[in-house]
Amino acid sequence: MKYGIRYLKNSEILPFIPKSNPSLRSLLLKSPTRTLSGVSPIAIMPPPAFCGGRCTYCPKGENAPQSYTGYEPTTMRAIQNAYSALRQVASRLKQYCEQGHGADKCHLIIMGGTFLCVDGKARHLFMKDAFDALNGKKSPSLQSAINANEHAPHRAIGVTFETRPDFGFESHADEMLSMGGTQVELGVQCLSDAVYRKVQRGHTVSDVVRSTKILRNAGFKLTYHMMPGLYSTPEQDISYFRRLFTSQDFQPDMLKIYPALVVQGTVLYNQWKKGEFEPYDTEKAAEVIANAARFIPPYVRIPRIQRDMPSPLISAGVKNSNLRQIVEKKLEERGEKCRCIRCREIGSAVRKRTPLGKLKLSLGRIDYSASGGKEIFLSFEDGEKDLLAAFLRLRIPKQSHRKEIDSVSSIVRELHVYGQEASIGEDNPLKMQHKGLGRKLLAEAERITSGEFSLEKIAVLSGPGARGYYRKFGYSPEGPYMAKKI
């Protein structure tokens, strides 16, 4: 402040900058990394409910969904908004708009592994309220709210649900599809029935295999939560990561790596106090993850390493919030680097302030087996810079419980173009989106479906807000999917 006059905030200036001046708008943008992956994430939490599990490491915070402490940023926003989905989404949209993000394309993330245990009517009302907030108007039912989102000011490109591996079966998949779901995060933690019994997890590795297969064949994208140091040695943890990608039973699309933490009020805390359990410290956790990185294929994304938990709440374990950077430094010292999608997407170069220059993109393809079917990962990448601009996940399923995905169908589980989020219809020379990469990937998926596998139909599981995109290429609604005869 000078002469009694305060400086204007970026958020106060942005509304007056014309869209015809993208350079200046980009300069004033607050928290630009929020939307570097191409969409605006909106994480919300349902009211606390019992998930059916009694895991020894679970914090069970007061007035917080199970497995959360009540002090995570998302949980605190939920509490401030009385766990109202309408208020949580509206609050987040307001923040994005004030920071200069269009938030035209959003990704709803329903956090807390308890959601499928919530009463059905309450669950549907929560989701309807979330879509009503995106739509800017109220709808009479959840389905009408989902349908209205196709033309809404804030469109849900994807919808993620967190759940347990024993809540990923046919009925659970159908329920998540009915709520607009496109992605599922499974709390896998490890690949040991002995450990599951020890921590009273309440499910088995075979449940992980079964739910993975059902969800994948229904078209969902899959994220596994893994917990190194949960009654394991570094060698055992590394073997888990190796098995994830050498066995076709697993092959998750994404990984969230959360080393085991000791939090007061848990059974694990009591065991730690008695000397019966010792978690990894920062050095050991970083070493395990760095050694496991060699087994992570380039078609996998690691969105997060280390839980977003205030360090004063952690009695023992990794307290560093920059664990990912520590892992990256270890790899760099060895002359190695992580080649997961997050480390190679165009947004990562912006995040690290690396000049992009002119990209030389070419079409890449990786084929692999998963859950009895065939997965084809198509991408546009700059091989010299090792940067990824866009990708598509095509599945040739062996058998799906969904009638829409029959024996003559393939399914696109994900289509993503990276770079700063571009508003719907915007052609910004500084942004990678809306340059035709998605269209080219979709055309290649159609060619592979008919030309290589002699199939007659291709389906897409997209968020309701992305349906209009697929309509442009001849797709039409079929249940929760967009489909096209080819």
**Which pair of tokens denotes residue 54?**
């009694």
Q: Which of 371, 356, 370 is nearest to 299 (CA)?
A: 370
Maximum CA extent, the chain: 74
**φ and ψ at 480, to 5 degrees?**
-80, 0
Distance CA 212, CA 196 (A): 17
SS3 state at 110? strand
Q: Is 57 in contact with 168 (CB distance < 8 Å)?
A: no
Entry field: residues in the chain: 486
pTM of the model: 0.91
**Torsion of the alpha carbons at 218, 481, 438 and 373, rounded to the nearest 10:** 20
Single-letter code of the amino acid located at 317: G
E strand or H helix that includes residue 315: strand 314-316
Fold of 348-485: Aminopeptidase (3.40.630)
pLDDT in the model for residue 61 = 72
Distances (CA, A) of 46 to 87, 115, 117: 12, 7, 11
pLDDT confidence of residue 69: 87
**Ranges in the chain, pLDDT < 70:** 1-37, 113, 348, 350-357, 420-434
Residues 245, 40, 319: CA angle, nearest 5 degrees: 60
Cβ-based neighbour number of residue 119 at 10 Å: 9
At how many degrees (to 10) do helices 170-178 and 205-217 cross?
40
User: What is the domain partition of the chain in residue ranges?
Assistant: 348-485
